[in-house]
Chains A and B, each alone.
Chain A
Amino acid sequence: MHPAFSVIFLTTLIGVGQGIFLALFTGQSYSAVELLPTQHSANFYGNGAIIALLFLIGGLIASFFHLGHPERAWRAASQWRTSWLSREVIALPILMGLVFIYGVMHHMGWDSILLTTDKGAKLSLTLIVATLGMLATFALFLCTGMIYACLKFLQEWYSPLTVINYTLYGTASGFLLMTAFANVSAPDLMSFYGIWSMIIIIAVFITRFASLVRNARIKYKSTMQTALGVRHTKIQQKAMGFMGGSVNTRDFFHHTSLMFMRNMKWIFMLLVGPIPFVLLWIGMESQSTSTLLTAFVVMYIGLIAERWFFFAQANHPQNLYYQTV
């Protein structure tokens, strides 16, 4: 597939936003059961929510660049029964709304403890909103991942790993950014987020590696033989019916070399895994916000590369019909 930058930015930006929100939710939940110290409502949760919201809005804006008719985007909510894209279109604003409410509540101090358990765990109003947001976040991860994972003839994508990787990459990038953010506004949570970040980075390194291994072994169901209905081992296209290109040649090919693809694979695996991991380690050790931020930026660049590769690697069966000018 041709990697469209609007979609790359959409998925990576909202992933960061979703990850940040998951981090906020996790942090607040741990605090609620007193596993972590309680944080300042506005400064940490409130501002964290703003950051998450900014990423979500950024993703939304990016998505509009992908649309021919963004003014009709509202229509996209109508087909939730069948379309994961439609579901994403619903889940994203819900999440944004919840994040917004969550942020406003923390900023305005609209919170109250509804329930306290015997062991001292406190159920607050914001935690309920955060829980709903957490559910929306996972729903959104599911929708985004399933947009790709539901296309069965895009065999590179048609796998639970697609959803898992989308979820874990978003979460990792969000937690990583929150590590840096915590170093500034809640230093006692820094190592909590840092360690979680490390765990998720390791996890997604494994799951992404698994998907690479899986994709390297794909046996394509569609072949020249099934595409044309001709039984012969040697079939070669000589003309695709036009010579100046078409949607079929522009939207479904990455237009780069095999070498470039191979290099991209190692580059993104380094950028989203070992390098930010090491930078994160150093940043945590030195409690350096700039190092932690660098870890995030490196990872985000890696994510763009990862997403580019994700699209570029997907081999659409229509390409069988478009091989030779």
Chain B
Amino acid sequence: MPVVHNPIQPPEGRIEVKNTTCYMCACRCGIRVTLRDGEVRYIQGNPDHPLNKGVICAKGASGIMKQYSPARLTKPLRRKQEALRGDAQFEEIEWDEAFGIMEERLKHLRETDPKKFALFTGRDQMQALTGLFAKQYGTPNYAAHGGFCSVNMATGMIYTIGGSFWEFGGPDLERAKLFIMIGTAEDHHSNPMKMALSQFKRNGGRFISINPVRTGYSAIADEWVPIKPGTDGALMLSIIHELIRTGLFDREFLTQYTNAAELVSTDEQSDDFGLFIRTDIPLDPHCFDPQDRVWWDRDEDKAVHSRTEGVEPRLLGEFTLADGRKAKPSFQLLKERTDQYNPEWAESVTGIPADTIRRLAYEMGITARDEKIELPIAWTDAWGKDHETITGNPVAFHSMRGTAAHSNGFQTIRAMSILMTILGTIDRPGGFRHKAPFPRPIPPCAKTPNSIHGVKPNTPLGGMPLGWPADPNDLFVDDDGNPIRIDKGFSWEFPLSAHGLMHNVITNAWRGDPYTIDTLLIFMANMAWNSSMNTDEVRKMLNDKDDNGEYKIPYIIVADAFQSEMTAYADLILPDTTYLERHDVMSMLDRPISEYDGPVDSVRIPVVPPKGDCKPFQEVLIEMGSRLKLPAFVDKEGKRKFRDYPDFVVNYETEPGSGIGFLAGWRGKGGEKFMKGEPNPNQWKMYEENNCVYQYHLPKSYQYMRNWNRGYLNWAQEHRLMRFAEPINIHIYSEVLMKFRLAAQGKTEGKQPPAHLRKRIETHFDPLPFYSEPLESQLTDKHKYPLNAITQRPMAMYHSWDSQNAWLRQIHTYNYMYVHPSTAQKAGIEDGGWMWAESMHGKVRCLCRYTEALEPGTIWTWNAIGKSKGAWRLDDDANESQKGFLLNHLISEELPAHEAGEHVSNSDPLTGQAGWYDVRVRIYKAEEGEENVSYPQFNAMPALPGTEKTNKWQAFFAGLFTRGGK
């Protein structure tokens, strides 16, 4: 039978193939883009890229529909004078005018009070530049989205082991035998996690998922352990209890590489109560964590220098020092702490049967002990001792926002880090592995200014806008102990808020607490929708005026590539490009894409020209930096230093002549150096020729035990990853936290918390992990609101921005509330029927879907599928606004008034991590006759000027995109 239609013949057209880096989520896979007649024909994973090795996800493969979305902004827009914020009435202006407006405003603020300008960005990974801009401008009011994402994961682990998950490190699934995934949804991490999981399973590894919900990754787990949200800490502590009880811990690892054996003063009368006993060895002034601790020698029964060669210390017991002071090893304190957390207790908290908890502990302990890995790799430790092999205990963990986004998350993650540590799995094969530039000192060296003197007109900030406090004196508070940042970061309310608290910026600025600001620049963050807690109120705040008829937040600039809900509230909109139209760097100064075996950074290089007048946000910052004459952007004469962003990336150095810039690869005049070297004018070209990625493989002997690996530490110091080449010992007992507690107890000389926060600090800055109910739960009537409500992101949708994607929105065009049948039936709610979910803050009407893959005391939904009517250039009757909903309406950004204050953020009291998953709700059936649309509904957002009209149908064919009329 002759074939008329040739199924093989490729359509005609001019084909080009270019490499760049994906940005359909934050995973940053290498992509290869094929163009036909200049239109994007195919986006595939780059097989030569170390991160994704050729694979791509649903979002990455739908990049075409982002590129050609009708919601694209193409012109700078100014709010029409007569129009109110939120009405989304704009007029097109030219860039020159937009820059002029911003220059005038920001110049004035910088000359008078730079903190009146706030810059907050939804996505990080551009923080190297945005942070630099804020610092150079001199405003402390800068952060990315980390505070409402997963800062507990970063801080909880970094303050314990000097590294964390995702960009910072991860599970070594290539060699692990047992993998515990807890509180991980389907995103962080995306493709590398999927690849590793599948390989791990095929290698015969055992995968246990602990999660209230069984979807995504958990679906393929060998065992699913449903847990009540917010109780992960109780589980961890109980497993630690069981491991200590049975002796299933790695004693050698604990003694040498952690502070487990180091003696802590337990004499309440003594000045050093709660601090480590110190010896009188001379201190190196550059040392961040001096090795001046004390062990108790079990043979000689006396105190000795910690890590004295040949000495076996006691891990347990109480000892009396020569001067009569009592002291206990950290591990004894941990044991005493966890004694109360037996599995029966944990069962009552977590809902996991005690026998299961015990079995989990045994599986971990026995696998760690009996499946031990010995790699024939010789290495030298930080104390100069040579080792013939690298040892690994193949139990790996991964965790993300499920454990982090609770107000008890920091201590939960401390507990998890300690669990990983006592199993002896840190930076070892089959366990947890760091990614450069991690590990960092505990805590890392970056610090904010510690007084109001760090903020001065016309002067760069006297420190970093974000940092890692090591003791109360590092806090960024004024002389009265009040916050200096608009989000109250690094104040006594949230001392360790390393990523800021973006979720409180609008509320604080609106209330004028701690002060009012003038201009808020928001980049790529949908604060008028899914990125804010309490969305409805936040929208009102953005629109609220004072008695003089002025907006309480006087000027709002929004930089976004799309018509998001947030753009409606802008006074000025700056159209950003898509990722296919811009230069970008995944910099070592920010969060690079390093692999376990060495540093990796990467770039984006435009594959198509920008649409309309859109401009990469980086170019906006370079332009504004030059116009405002910020020191880093101009030369001595005040003349513009960098032509554009690519030029900046090549030529900027952290300090003149430092040789450290945004990109680590192909530095030096001819590209012969890496990490450190003078600028290379051909650096972009070299990245382009190398799949847009620079990868360095450390020598094998530097790839493990990097906290204590002499070779690695020296290498890292030499290549300027770290100032110090000292061992980074794990903090089982956190003296850093204890110092804050001592301050709260009034036992220290330095900065003191205000009276109303003393108890809060004293309770939560516990040097040992403990379990406490999330703050919101403590303040909720749990009889009235018996259920937990949580969200997660589906794998095929990232953030809110994919609802404008014609392909992805077919997969998730609205969201259901998932409820266990028994829970739903008790409330009379039918499968597929309309229901209400109500918290003490608000309520939503939504559609119910029964599910058996859910802990029955919890309900959940996909995040950010629901949209405000008309946003993202969707039709007014689009399912996203008519059937979709946001859980955010139930979640408050502030806790009810309690002893710590009236307007305290609904966040972790240590870190300011948003407590997204702490909300308690009740559910009931929607009445007969109620409207079959989701609640709340908002006025339709009209199409912004410069966006495209949408069509009744379309058929994408690269080079010949046809669309049908409406």
* Interface residues of A, Cβ cutoff 8 Å to B: 236, 238, 241-244, 324
CB-based contact A238/B812 at 8 Å: no
CB-based contact A244/B879 at 8 Å: yes
Q: Which residues of B contact A324 (CB under 8 A)?
A: 849
Q: A243-B879, A244-B879 are in contact. Are A236 and B852 (CB under 8 A)?
A: yes
Chain A residue at minimum C-beta to C-beta distance from B796: A241
Q: Which of A236, A238, A241, A243 contacts B814 (CB 8 A)?
A: A243
Q: Which residues of B contact A243 (CB under 8 A)?
A: 810-814, 879
In the assembled complex, B950 has its CB within 8 A of some CB on chain A:
no
Q: How far is the CA of A100 from the CA of B845 in the complex (A)?
A: 65
Q: Which residues of A contact B849 (CB under 8 A)?
A: 238, 324
Q: Which residues of A contact B516 (CB under 8 A)?
A: none
Q: Give the 9 A-B CB pairs with smallest separation, nearest first.
A: A243-B813, A242-B810, A244-B813, A244-B810, A242-B811, A243-B814, A238-B851, A241-B811, A243-B812
Q: Which residues of A contact B879 (CB under 8 A)?
A: 243-244
Given contacts A238-B851, A238-B853, A243-B814, 11 further A-B contacts (CB under 8 A): A236-B850, A236-B852, A238-B849, A242-B811, A243-B810, A243-B812, A243-B813, A243-B879, A244-B810, A244-B813, A324-B849
CB distance from A253 to the nearest CB of B (A): 15
Q: Which residues B471-530 have CB closer than 8 A to chain A?
A: none
Chain B 817-853: CB-based contact to A (< 8 A → 1; otherwise 0): 0000000000000000000000000000000011111
CB distance from A236 to the nearest CB of B (A): 7
Q: Which residues of A contact B853 (CB under 8 A)?
A: 238
The total of chain B residues at the interface (CB under 8 A) is: 11
CB distance from A250 to the nearest CB of B (A): 14
Q: Which residues of A contact B850 (CB under 8 A)?
A: 236
Q: How far is the CA of A255 from the CA of B915 in the complex (A)?
A: 43
CB distance from A211 to the nearest CB of B (A): 33
* Interface residues of B, Cβ cutoff 8 Å to A: 810-814, 849-853, 879
Q: How far is the CA of A254 from the CA of B167 in the complex (A)?
A: 51
Q: How far is the CA of A242 from the CA of B812 in the complex (A)?
A: 7
Q: Which residues of B contact A242 (CB under 8 A)?
A: 810-811
Q: How far is the CA of A244 from the CA of B850 in the complex (A)?
A: 20
CB distance from B312 to the nearest CB of A (A): 54
Subset of 10 A-B contacts with CB under 8 Å: A236-B850, A236-B852, A238-B853, A242-B811, A243-B811, A243-B812, A243-B814, A244-B810, A244-B813, A244-B879
Q: Which residues of A contact B811 (CB under 8 A)?
A: 241-243
Chain B residue at minimum C-beta to C-beta distance from A238: B851
CB distance from B805 to the nearest CB of A (A): 14
Q: How far is the CA of A243 from the CA of B816 in the complex (A)?
A: 11
Q: How far is the CA of A242 from the CA of B850 in the complex (A)?
A: 18
Chain A interface, DSSP helix/strand/loop, else mixed: loop
Q: How far is the CA of A243 from the CA of B811 in the complex (A)?
A: 6
CB distance from B878 to the nearest CB of A (A): 10
Q: How far is the CA of A236 from the CA of B854 in the complex (A)?
A: 14
Chain A residue at minimum C-beta to C-beta distance from B4: A75
Chain B residue at minimum C-beta to C-beta distance from A241: B811
Q: How far is the CA of A303 from the CA of B810 in the complex (A)?
A: 38
Chain A residue at minimum C-beta to C-beta distance from B847: A325
Q: How far is the CA of A267 from the CA of B371 in the complex (A)?
A: 72
Q: How far is the CA of A324 from the CA of B818 in the complex (A)?
A: 13
Q: How far is the CA of A243 from the CA of B813 in the complex (A)?
A: 6
Q: How far is the CA of A238 from the CA of B214 in the complex (A)?
A: 12
Chain B residue at minimum C-beta to C-beta distance from A243: B813
Q: How far is the CA of A324 from the CA of B850 in the complex (A)?
A: 11
Q: How far is the CA of A241 from the CA of B853 in the complex (A)?
A: 18
CB distance from B812 to the nearest CB of A (A): 7
Q: Which residues of B contact A244 (CB under 8 A)?
A: 810, 813, 879
CB distance from A88 to the nearest CB of B (A): 21
Q: Which residues of B contact A241 (CB under 8 A)?
A: 811
Q: How far is the CA of A89 from the CA of B647 in the complex (A)?
A: 70
Q: How far is the CA of A324 from the CA of B848 in the complex (A)?
A: 12
Q: How far is the CA of A197 from the CA of B776 in the complex (A)?
A: 79
Q: How far is the CA of A236 from the CA of B850 in the complex (A)?
A: 10
CB distance from B458 to the nearest CB of A (A): 54
Chain A residue at minimum C-beta to C-beta distance from B794: A239
Q: Which residues of B contact A236 (CB under 8 A)?
A: 850, 852
CB distance from A239 to the nearest CB of B (A): 9
Q: How far is the CA of A238 from the CA of B815 in the complex (A)?
A: 12
CB distance from B215 to the nearest CB of A (A): 9
CB distance from A271 to the nearest CB of B (A): 34
Q: How far is the CA of A236 from the CA of B853 in the complex (A)?
A: 11
Q: How far is the CA of A241 from the CA of B810 in the complex (A)?
A: 8
Q: How far is the CA of A324 from the CA of B853 in the complex (A)?
A: 16
Chain A residue at minimum C-beta to C-beta distance from B850: A236
Q: Which residues of A contact B810 (CB under 8 A)?
A: 242-244
CB distance from B965 to the nearest CB of A (A): 20
Q: How far is the CA of A238 from the CA of B862 in the complex (A)?
A: 14
Chain A residue at minimum C-beta to C-beta distance from B883: A243
Q: How far is the CA of A69 from the CA of B673 in the complex (A)?
A: 65
CB distance from B341 to the nearest CB of A (A): 36
Chain B residue at minimum C-beta to C-beta distance from A234: B852
Q: Which residues of B contact A238 (CB under 8 A)?
A: 849, 851, 853
Q: How far is the CA of A244 from the CA of B810 in the complex (A)?
A: 6
Most buried by B among A242, A243, A244: A243
Q: Which residues of A contact B852 (CB under 8 A)?
A: 236
CB distance from A185 to the nearest CB of B (A): 50
CB distance from B489 to the nearest CB of A (A): 40
CB distance from A301 to the nearest CB of B (A): 34
Chain B residue at minimum C-beta to C-beta distance from A236: B852
Chain A residue at minimum C-beta to C-beta distance from B215: A238
Q: How far is the CA of A223 from the CA of B853 in the complex (A)?
A: 22
Q: Which residues of A contact B813 (CB under 8 A)?
A: 243-244
Chain B residue at minimum C-beta to C-beta distance from A79: B1
CB distance from B952 to the nearest CB of A (A): 14
Q: How far is the CA of A51 from the CA of B775 in the complex (A)?
A: 83
CB distance from A213 to the nearest CB of B (A): 32
CB distance from B672 to the nearest CB of A (A): 51
Q: How far is the CA of A324 from the CA of B849 in the complex (A)?
A: 10
Q: How far is the CA of A282 from the CA of B899 in the complex (A)?
A: 92
Q: How far is the CA of A241 from the CA of B794 in the complex (A)?
A: 12
Q: Which residues of A contact B851 (CB under 8 A)?
A: 238
CB distance from B815 to the nearest CB of A (A): 9
CB distance from B17 to the nearest CB of A (A): 30
CB distance from A258 to the nearest CB of B (A): 16
CB distance from A245 to the nearest CB of B (A): 10
Q: How far is the CA of A324 from the CA of B879 in the complex (A)?
A: 16
CB distance from A179 to the nearest CB of B (A): 48
Q: How far is the CA of A244 from the CA of B808 in the complex (A)?
A: 12
CB distance from A80 to the nearest CB of B (A): 14
CB distance from A193 to the nearest CB of B (A): 47
Q: How far is the CA of A244 from the CA of B851 in the complex (A)?
A: 21
CB distance from B576 to the nearest CB of A (A): 29
CB distance from A143 to the nearest CB of B (A): 22
CB distance from B59 to the nearest CB of A (A): 16
Q: How far is the CA of A238 from the CA of B811 in the complex (A)?
A: 13
Q: How far is the CA of A183 from the CA of B110 in the complex (A)?
A: 102
CB distance from A235 to the nearest CB of B (A): 11
Q: How far is the CA of A242 from the CA of B796 in the complex (A)?
A: 11
CB distance from B268 to the nearest CB of A (A): 56
Q: How far is the CA of A241 from the CA of B851 in the complex (A)?
A: 16
Q: How far is the CA of A241 from the CA of B879 in the complex (A)?
A: 16
CB distance from B179 to the nearest CB of A (A): 24
Chain B residue at minimum C-beta to C-beta distance from A246: B810
Chain B residue at minimum C-beta to C-beta distance from A242: B810
Chain A residue at minimum C-beta to C-beta distance from B853: A238
Chain B residue at minimum C-beta to C-beta distance from A245: B810
Q: How far is the CA of A243 from the CA of B796 in the complex (A)?
A: 13
Q: How far is the CA of A244 from the CA of B812 in the complex (A)?
A: 9
CB distance from A246 to the nearest CB of B (A): 9
CB distance from B77 to the nearest CB of A (A): 31
Most buried by B among A236, A238, A241, A242: A238
Q: How far is the CA of A242 from the CA of B58 in the complex (A)?
A: 13
Q: How far is the CA of A244 from the CA of B806 in the complex (A)?
A: 12
CB distance from A243 to the nearest CB of B (A): 4
Q: How far is the CA of A236 from the CA of B818 in the complex (A)?
A: 14
